[in-house]
């Protein structure tokens, strides 16, 4: 605490106290700690909690949360925020992801795709609920957004299974009571039973490792029915490389939020009508993430993994 005696506090009550640089550094270091690693029963720090902890540790005699916020803002440190992330754990992550990125660029095995070759991105959006609100949703008006009753009655759930033609911006989708092999194969049949796919040289299906299309058995099953299909499995934990997920995020924002549907039939109707609407205005997604970006990302993650191992 002796080091605190040298603080200069301006006599002007509106002036900010001047803190020594070493105090600022210690507070920023405190903000970068995980609270529970120090025995503090918190998952994240707020600026107010950082201030209290700094005082209890004797770093400062008095400090406000707003002062700490100002310091952290200078270095873009936000301990009150978090985001989920994962490390690739597929030993063939770069190889598998690279094949998908090549397809998005119009190449397969270093050769350009022909006019009779197509790229389909497919997946399921599961457990879409129909929540019937106990009071009518009110439309926006001057000075207010929509007003949605917080209480609701559950009216069931369904799965929306969809496929996106990457280069033609064409959509296929169906609502199913359950996900699984049968429902996924019905979607594949919707696509492959019509032109130009049924007479195509090759149709590349980019899919994840879900139970309805996982591993070699799914390849054998799909190619047994449609020999022109080339199944391209994503690496584990790489759904973000699947373009259909972009469409699902659009659905979530524009169709399912806020969730106010009187029945599952109303959900189905809205999904199918939006699909028809979107297909009329859709263009191929402008995909910018390349093999080069992938290599840079994996190098960065490898370094982070090594740093964590050393820290542990």
Instruction: Using the predicted structure, report yes or no on whether residue 157 has a pLDDT greater than 90.
Output: yes
Instruction: Using the predicted structure, report yes or no on whether residue 11 has a pLDDT greater than 50.
Output: no
pLDDT digit string, tens, across residues 250-308: 999 999 999 999 999 999 999 999 999 999 999 999 999 999 999 998 888 888 777 66
What is the percent of the chain where pLDDT is above 90? 73
| Domains defined for the chain, CATH in brackets | 2-74 (no CATH), 93-135+150-291 (3.30.420.10)
pLDDT digit string, tens, across residues 30-68: 999 999 999 999 999 999 999 999 999 999 999 999 999
- pLDDT band, very low/low/confident/very high, at 7 (cuts 50, 70, 90): very low
Instruction: Using the predicted structure, report yes or no on whether residue 186 has a pLDDT greater than 80.
Output: yes
Contacts of 205 (CB under 8 A, 6+ apart): 120, 122, 163, 188, 222, 229, 230, 231, 232
**Per-residue pLDDT at 1:** 44
Find out whether 202 and 230 touch, Cβ atoms under 8 Å: yes
What's CA 161's distance to the chain center, in Å?
A: 18
Q: What is the pTM of this model?
A: 0.79
**Per-residue pLDDT at 149:** 83
Mean pLDDT along residues 140-145 = 87
**Residue 157 structure tokens:** 């759930």
Q: How many CA atoms lie within 13 A of 221 on its CB side?
A: 14
Query: DSSP labels for 175-229?
Result: EESS-SHHHHHHHHHHHHTSTTGGG-SEEEEEE---GGG-HHHHHHHHHHH-TTE
pLDDT digit string, tens, across residues 101-118: 999 999 999 999 999 999
Mean pLDDT along residues 65-88 = 89
Instruction: Using the predicted structure, report yes or no on whether residue 138 has a pLDDT greater than 90.
Output: no
Spatial distance between the Cα atoms of 28 and 33, rounded to a whole number of angstroms: 9
**Per-residue pLDDT at 146:** 86
pLDDT digit string, tens, across residues 211-226: 889 889 999 999 999 9
**Per-residue pLDDT at 312:** 57
- pLDDT band, very low/low/confident/very high, at 14 (cuts 50, 70, 90): low
Q: Which of 143-152, 229-238, 254-263, 265-274 has the lowest average pLDDT?
A: 143-152
- pLDDT band, very low/low/confident/very high, at 8 (cuts 50, 70, 90): very low
Instruction: Using the predicted structure, report yes or no on whether residue 6 has a pLDDT greater than 50.
Output: no
- pLDDT band, very low/low/confident/very high, at 9 (cuts 50, 70, 90): very low
Mean pLDDT along residues 194-202 = 97
């Amino acid at each position: 605490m002796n080091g605190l005696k040298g603080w200069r506090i301006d006599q002007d009550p509106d002036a900010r106290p001047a803190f020594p640089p070493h105090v600022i550094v210690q507070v920023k270091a405190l903000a970068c700690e995980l609270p529970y690693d120090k025995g503090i029963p918190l998952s994240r720090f707020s600026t107010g909690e950082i201030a209290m902890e700094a005082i209890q540790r004797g770093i400062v005699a008095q400090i406000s949360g707003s002062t700490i916020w100002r310091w952290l803002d200078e270095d873009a440190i936000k301990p009150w925020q978090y985001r989920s992330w994962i490390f690739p754990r597929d030993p063939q992550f770069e190889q598998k992801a690279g094949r998908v990125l090549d397809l998005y660029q119009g190449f397969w095995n270093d050769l350009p795709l022909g006019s009779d070759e197509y790229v389909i991105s497919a997946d399921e959006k599961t457990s879409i609920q129909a929540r019937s609100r106990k009071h009518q949703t009110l439309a926006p008006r001057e000075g207010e957004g929509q007003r949605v009753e917080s209480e609701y009655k559950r009216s069931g759930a369904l799965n929306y299974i969809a496929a996106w033609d990457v280069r033609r911006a064409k959509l296929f989708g169906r609502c199913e009571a359950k996900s699984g092999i049968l429902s996924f194969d019905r979607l594949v049949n919707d696509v492959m039973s019509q032109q130009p796919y049924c007479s195509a040289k090759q149709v590349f299906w980019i899919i994840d490792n879900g139970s309805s299309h996982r591993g070699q058995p799914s390849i054998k099953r799909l190619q047994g029915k449609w020999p022109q299909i080339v199944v391209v499995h994503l690496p584990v934990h790489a759904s973000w490389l699947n373009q259909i997920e972009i469409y699902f995020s659009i659905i979530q924002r524009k169709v399912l939020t806020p969730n106010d549907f009187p029945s599952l039939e109303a959900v189905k109707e809205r999904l199918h009508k939006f699909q028809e609407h979107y297909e009329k205005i859709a263009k191929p997604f402008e995909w910018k993430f390349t093999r080069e970006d992938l290599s840079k990302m994996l190098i960065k993650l490898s370094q982070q993994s090594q740093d964590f191992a050393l820290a542990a």
